[in-house]
Structure 1
Amino acid sequence: MAYSLLIRNCGHLLTLTVSDANGPLAGPAQSNWRIIPDGYVACEQGQIVAVGPMPELDQALVTAATEVIEAAGRVVLPGLVECHTHLVFGGNRAHEFHRKLQGETYLDILASGGGILSTVRATRAATDEELLQQALRHLVDFRHYGVTTLEAKTGYGLDTDTELRLLRVAQEAGRRQPVRVVPSFLGAHVPGPEFRGQPREYLQMLVQDVLPRISPTEVPFVDIFCEEGAFSVADSRWYLEQARELGFRLKIHAEQLHDLGGCEMAAELGAVSIDHADYLAPAAAARIAARTNGRTVAVLLPLVPLFLRQEQYAPGRAFIDAGLPVAISTDFNPGSCPSKNLWLALQLACLKMGLTPAEAVAAVTLNAAWSIGQERECGSLEPGKRADLLVLDVPTLEEIPYWLGENPVREVIIGGQRI
């Protein structure tokens, strides 16, 4: 046997591995994972087969057939995992940007028929091919930033036919290019326009007409937006309970704009992730960590309050200190975060949420993988996982959040193939 791919002379090899880990990285473990100075990663048939310091490299397995990448003292780490996006949608909402600058809030624009509902109109009017081509263009951009696995939510159809179309388009986009796409069903984004003022009736329609037509093996997660102007805690609980009975794993958008208690409710039901959490109190985070034994991941989205010009950011430092695992995502979408720069989200998590560089890197790799059920496949550098790796144009971990807004990616490797 010979290695098919070898990345050698890595300055800082960020493995994201810890001994005896059986869940997301929480508390001190979110920063106390293994970094190998002067390391290597060896791959065979699309999988990692060996990781270690250069003196331990088995030179006999490096042959003329081995593709060798010289890291030359640079940082090497797992491919980024983008764990909260709204990938497939029609049009954009640039026309609402001026309204935001004039002081209108997210909920003001939604209540006037704009926001999510504006994108719903554009999405319903778009053809499958138009939606697919736009999604593929976005995936090229994500890959440019080193994203190798990505979650794609529906939620801009808000009727049976369009929501199912969005799932098909996301799945097709995953098949047509190398970034792995994990679809999630967010039909419960807000009530569809035909159900204005009837949130429970809309959720009943989803449970009766849509969820039975979706396979949990192909679309593992059901999500809901629990917020004023969307769905109440009581309605969200009912819906998530129905989804769980049908075999889906659970997610929630909650505590984005108000402290309603949605995060604790979803964690009680066994949610894999609680997303946004800008208004989640540290005491509640500690209760969630204790109740779930650190298995529920808080997915924080710092680019959203930045773009919406809000002052409240999730207290990520307090969450980690309370033992709640933290992941970071962009929340790429046409309304509250039209950005695919996950590095900028990582940097803002350090600046506004109190994460250290090591915690922030864990938040966009292994913890992000846990939050979308991909922890066995990606997120860390260890034998048996997919060979998804990045070579960065920085020499140390500490420089990753330092170069604000820059994309440090030099090489992207997905499934053992240079992209």
Structure 2
Amino acid sequence: MTQPYTLVLRDCAQVLTLAGAPTDRPLTGPALADWRIIEQGFVACQGDTIAAVGPMSELDESWLGPETRVIDARGRVVMPGLVECHTHLVFGGNRADEFQRKLQGESYLDILASGGGILSTVRKTRAATDDELLAGALHHLEGFRRYGVTTLEAKTGYGLDAATELRLLRVAHAAGRQQPVQLVHTFLGAHVPGPEYKGRPAEYLAMLSEQVLPALQGQAEFVDIFCEEGAFSVDDSRRYLQRARDLGFKLKIHAEQLHDLGGCRMAAELGAASVDHCDYLPAADAAAVAAAGQGRTVAVLLPLVPLYLRQDKYAPGRQFIDAGLPVALSTDFNPGSCPSKNLWLAVSLACLKMGLTPHEALAAVTLNAAWALDRQQQVGSLEPGKRADLLVLGLPDYREIPYWLGENPVQQVIIGGQ
């Protein structure tokens, strides 16, 4: 090192490093809780990069210059920025008008079949201007930042035609350039068949495969599909994802949200970075999904969705972990089944409803979530060489994070050392 530190967080009550476990695959089994917590520690940064992490006894103060910004984190937890690995960021309007229907007992699929749900948002999104969509995305990103999210996946999926889906990608890229949260772009044109293709899902996927996927080069990193009754079958999803993989895209899937169709295992066999929802993935099948994905396909669990939809079935996270399936956590922020940006509430619910420990749940919203986005080399843990994305929490002990149900513990958000 030739230059002084530009930022030092010192006297931290606890530094949650998320480091110390195997680095060649996501954390699972005992490793999900076997990462280093430093009591009375420090984190030092140079520019946008972490330079050193350790106990206060190892802080070399000769590297503090007159321009070094020093943050006294006495009595507070310092941890990596949250990685939000499943959101539907860009959309028009909202679906508050359907909330009452949910309360009266209509199911998600009932509302979709009547022209509501995703199709309601599609109509509002198609009618919205680019400026309106961008303003909404920036508003939501600021909300995520206040909750401590420093990296976020942004899916399309509310255009359901070639022109609007590409427009949503352009808006998401514009939002990424105008604020500090790092965005990862996913194409979810295969959310459900577009209304012009009602009853013809294979034809809709053929249109996407032939007209849209080739136009996405450099615009989207991942391609996703909703494999579910009322959306796309396992066979159709396999063909579509194979086409995306052949074009060089990384893969994701919405699967086993409402029924056990076998989409998770199929996507893992194709090398998907993540299989998302998994509420109806039987615990007995978790080891097979883990093996199909060679231990690198992450099950992204979304506990706020069954809560909001008033469903009783949650993914069996404890059994997944014990079976060797890596897990991450996300909100699934969207206008229909999870209009919440509170990833801390998802952490609490994962502990209460999915059997995770606080140690495991925190790994699931940092390092494992980074694996679900193929960002594990850049973010998700506090280690020298990674991006300086850090949170200062108004708590002295990490075990309090899920305990204070629904509260936002974040006092300070640092993104890229700023």
2:267–2:275 Cα contact (<8 Å) kept = yes
Distance 1:73 1:325 in 2: 32
| 2:171 is the alignment partner of 1:195 | no
Distance 1:292 1:132 in 2: 36
1:108 is paired with a residue whose SS is helix
| 2:172 is the alignment partner of 1:163 | no
Structure 1 length-normalised TM: 0.98
1:155–1:163 Cα contact (<8 Å) kept = yes
Distance 1:270 1:402 in 2: 36
Q: Once the 2 structures are TM-superposed, how far is the Cα of residue 25 of structure 1 from its aligned partner?
A: 0.8
1:49 is paired with a residue whose SS is strand
Aligned partner letter, 1:314:
A
| 2:256 is the alignment partner of 1:255 | yes
Equivalence for 1:90 = 92
Equivalence for 2:311 = 310
Equivalence for 2:135 = 133
Q: Once the 2 structures are TM-superposed, how far is the Cα of residue 19 of structure 1 from its aligned partner?
A: 4.3
Distance 2:156 2:219 in 1: 14
| 2:209 is the alignment partner of 1:207 | yes
Distance 1:316 1:57, change over 3 A: same
Distance 1:98 1:214, change over 3 A: same
1:295-349 Cα offsets, whole Å, 9 max, x none, are 0000000000000000000000000001111100000000000000000011100
Equivalence for 1:41 = 43
Distance 2:138 2:247 in 1: 31
Q: Paired residue for 1:64, among 52, 63, 66?
A: 66
1:85-108 Cα offsets, whole Å, 9 max, x none, are 000000000000000000000000
Distance 1:107 1:306 in 2: 16
Equivalence for 2:298 = 297
Q: Paired residue for 2:29, among 27, 30, 36?
A: 27
2:265–2:292 Cα contact (<8 Å) kept = no
Distance 1:268 1:358 in 2: 29
2:94 is paired with a residue whose SS is coil
Q: Once the 2 structures are TM-superposed, how far is the Cα of residue 23 of structure 1 from its aligned partner?
A: 1.2
Equivalence for 1:327 = 328
1:218-255 Cα offsets, whole Å, 9 max, x none, are 41100000000000111101100111111111100000
1:254-302 Cα offsets, whole Å, 9 max, x none, are 0000001000110011110000000001121111112323100000000
Distance 2:329 2:219 in 1: 24
Distance 1:143 1:21 in 2: 27
Equivalence for 1:283 = 284
Distance 2:322 2:365 in 1: 18
1:18–1:29 Cα contact (<8 Å) kept = no
Q: Paired residue for 2:118, among 116, 124, 141?
A: 116
Comparing 353-362 and 14-23, the one that deviates more: 14-23
1:379 is paired with a residue whose SS is coil
2:79 is paired with a residue whose SS is strand
Q: Once the 2 structures are TM-superposed, how far is the Cα of residue 361 of structure 1 from its aligned partner?
A: 0.2
Distance 2:4 2:287 in 1: 48
Aligned partner letter, 1:253:
H
Distance 1:75 1:321 in 2: 28
Distance 2:21 2:292 in 1: 23
Structure 2 length-normalised TM: 0.99
Equivalence for 2:273 = 272
1:17-70 Cα offsets, whole Å, 9 max, x none, are 124421111111111101111110000011001000000001100122100011
Equivalence for 1:234 = 235
2:223–2:244 Cα contact (<8 Å) kept = yes
Aligned partner letter, 2:258:
L
Distance 1:328 1:164 in 2: 28
Distance 2:152 2:67 in 1: 31
2:403 is paired with a residue whose SS is coil
Distance 2:369 2:173 in 1: 20
Distance 1:238 1:355 in 2: 34
2:28–2:326 Cα contact (<8 Å) kept = yes
Distance 1:194 1:205 in 2: 12
What count of residue pairs does the alignment treat as equivalent? 416
1:233–1:260 Cα contact (<8 Å) kept = yes
1:342-379 Cα offsets, whole Å, 9 max, x none, are 00011100000000001000000000011011111100
Equivalence for 2:344 = 343
Distance 1:199 1:20 in 2: 42
Distance 2:271 2:176 in 1: 27
1:300–1:328 Cα contact (<8 Å) kept = yes
| 2:344 is the alignment partner of 1:372 | no
1:300–1:326 Cα contact (<8 Å) kept = yes
Q: Paired residue for 2:174, among 153, 172, 175?
A: 172
2:21–2:31 Cα contact (<8 Å) kept = no
Distance 1:79 1:129 in 2: 29
Comparing 291-300 and 384-393, the one that deviates more: 291-300
Q: Could you tell me the percent identity over the aligned residues?
A: 72
Distance 2:334 2:289 in 1: 27
Equivalence for 1:150 = 152
Distance 2:322 2:219 in 1: 35
- Over 4 Å off, 4+ runs: none
Equivalence for 2:186 = 184
